[in-house]
């Protein structure tokens, strides 16, 4: 082991001197060199960037992985430089459970076949979530982490070095000031030769020469020389410290100005993150629309398990986005909730004729997809003509739009006077 005691002692002395200077500055008993305004603004901007980047990074981690135990596990895998094991998403797990349950209940039963359909779509949703998490981690989290663990550590290291150079500069300034004060004090003291008569000086000089000693004059000259040498040394150290401080300030300034390019990079990453979110939610919306259409193809599949009693049920519209915060109204039906009851008795729409009286205009409140050829698909906010025929279920009306005709649910309409 190479142990350099001299270097260790020197470093300890420098550290102690800097600590004394820092303490005196905090107490207001020592002067402090202030950085220029531009550098101070760059430092403040860098600190703001670091603080908010760290908060955004942490909260994004929580958004993508709400489980704190899983986040801790991923953190250790990253520190150990090992591959993070692949995890099954909640949607994929739910889909697998539904598929397994369908096997036990019987794939041919209405409940089992529906579980299979829903389970498959849940697995698709889970796959879309997995892709979103991977894309967001690569395009958004990784650049933020690289800044915090790479660029910011370099900036922090150079800032600490700049602070040390500033302390060294202020220490040298204090030494120069002290040396000048000592020289001024020595110059203010009366000269020994000038305060004695000339005859006394000559006799003292002759006596000193005969005795072989110049103690008084030698002492004064040595003090004067020591003060001059101390001042020159302190001034030389000050010039060196000033040069090192200016050089380190320039290096730090260049690094801090790079924060602007960091903002540009993070802006690009933010756009990619939003794009990944938009793609993910669009996929989820598409899958849910397809799932609703799949389930609406079998409106009577629940009849064998339904109770004969009448219940308030709500047909599931494909989309209710046109009226935010308003849910579709309910229909009185004898079937399972979510399925509008079909009109009792056979009804051929082609044979129905519009009566001369009793027809009204109606405004469509929600989108509605026809389940079969006897029904009329609706679009929110459109106007259609509606009327009833004898023997028709009161929850349904006959709607006409141009040459198109079909049954429509009453609760999807607003009847106009």
Q: Kindly state the tokens that stand for 345.
A: 């008795």
The bridge status of strand 331-333 relative to strand 413-415 is unpaired
Per residue of the chain (417 residues), what is the pLDDT tens digit? 455 766 677 677 777 788 887 887 778 777 788 888 999 999 999 999 999 999 999 999 999 888 787 777 766 667 666 776 677 888 999 999 999 999 999 888 888 889 999 999 999 999 999 999 999 999 999 999 999 999 999 999 999 999 999 999 988 888 888 878 777 777 776 655 555 555 544 454 555 455 555 455 455 556 667 667 777 888 888 899 999 999 999 999 999 999 999 999 999 999 999 999 999 999 999 999 999 988 887 544 444 444 444 344 444 444 433 333 444 444 444 443 333 444 444 456 666 667 767 788 999 998 999 988 889 999 999 999 998 888 788 888 999 998 889 999 998 999 886
The answer to whether residues 382 and 399 touch, using CB atoms and an 8 Å cutoff, is no
In the block, residue with structure tokens 């909260």:
59
pTM more than 0.75: no
Q: Which residues in 386-397 are b (16+ Cβ under 10 Å) and which e?
A: bbbbeebbebbb
Closest C-alpha among 328, 259, 339 to residue 296: 339
What's phi and psi for 246, nearest 5 deg? -65, -40
In the block, residue with structure tokens 């079969």:
372
Q: Kindly state the tokens that stand for 245.
A: 């401080």
Q: What is the DSSP string of 275-320?
A: HHHHHHHHHHHHHHHHHHHHHHT-TTTTGGGS-SS-EEE----S--
Residue 224 CA to residue 36 CA, distance in Å, equals 38
What's phi and psi for 409, nearest 5 deg? -75, 140
């Amino acid at each position: 082991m190479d142990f350099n005691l001299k270097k260790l002692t020197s470093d300890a002395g420098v550290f102690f001197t800097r600590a004394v200077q820092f303490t005196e500055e905090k107490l207001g008993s020592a002067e402090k060199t202030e950085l220029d305004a531009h550098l101070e603004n760059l430092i403040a901007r860098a600190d703001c960037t670091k603080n908010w980047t760290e908060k955004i990074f942490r909260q994004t981690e929580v958004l993508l992985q709400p489980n704190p135990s899983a986040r801790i596990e991923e953190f250790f895998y990253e520190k150990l430089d090992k591959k993070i094991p692949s995890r099954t998403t909640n949607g994929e797990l739910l889909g697998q459970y539904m598929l397994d349950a369908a096997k036990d209940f019987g794939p041919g039963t209405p409940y089992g076949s529906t579980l299979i359909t829903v389970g498959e779509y849940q697995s698709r949703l889970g796959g879309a979530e997995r892709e979103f998490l991977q894309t967001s981690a690569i395009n958004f989290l990784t650049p933020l982490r690289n800044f915090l663990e790479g660029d910011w550590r370099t900036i922090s290291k150079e800032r600490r070095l700049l602070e040390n150079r500033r302390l060294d500069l202020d220490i040298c300034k204090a030494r120069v000031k002290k040396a000048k004060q000592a020289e001024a004090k020595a110059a203010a003291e009366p000269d020994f030769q000038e305060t004695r008569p000339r005859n006394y000086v000559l006799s003292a000089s002759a006596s000193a020469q005969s005795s072989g000693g110049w103690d008084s004059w030698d002492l004064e000259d040595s003090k004067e020389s020591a003060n001059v040498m101390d001042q020159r040394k302190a001034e030389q150290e000050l010039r060196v410290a000033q040069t090192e401080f200016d050089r380190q300030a320039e290096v730090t300034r260049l690094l801090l100005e790079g924060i602007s390019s960091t903002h540009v990079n993070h802006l690009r990453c933010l756009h990619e993150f939003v794009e990944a979110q938009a793609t993910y939610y669009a996929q989820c919306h598409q899958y849910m629309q397809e799932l609703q259409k799949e389930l609406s193809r079998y409106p009577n599949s629940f009849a064998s398990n339904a109770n004969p009693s009448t219940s308030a049920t709500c047909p599931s519209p494909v989309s209710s986005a046109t009226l935010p915060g308003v849910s579709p109204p309910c229909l009185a039906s004898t079937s399972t909730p979510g399925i509008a009851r079909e009109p009792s008795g056979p009804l051929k729409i082609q044979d129905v004729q519009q009566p001369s009286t009793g027809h009204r205009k109606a405004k469509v409140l929600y989108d509605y997809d026809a389940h079969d050829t006897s029904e009329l698909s609706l679009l929110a906010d459109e106007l259609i003509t509606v009327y009833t025929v004898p023997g028709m279920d009161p929850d349904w009306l006959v709607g006409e739009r141009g040459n198109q005709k079909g049954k429509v649910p009453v609760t999807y309409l607003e009847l106009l006077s």
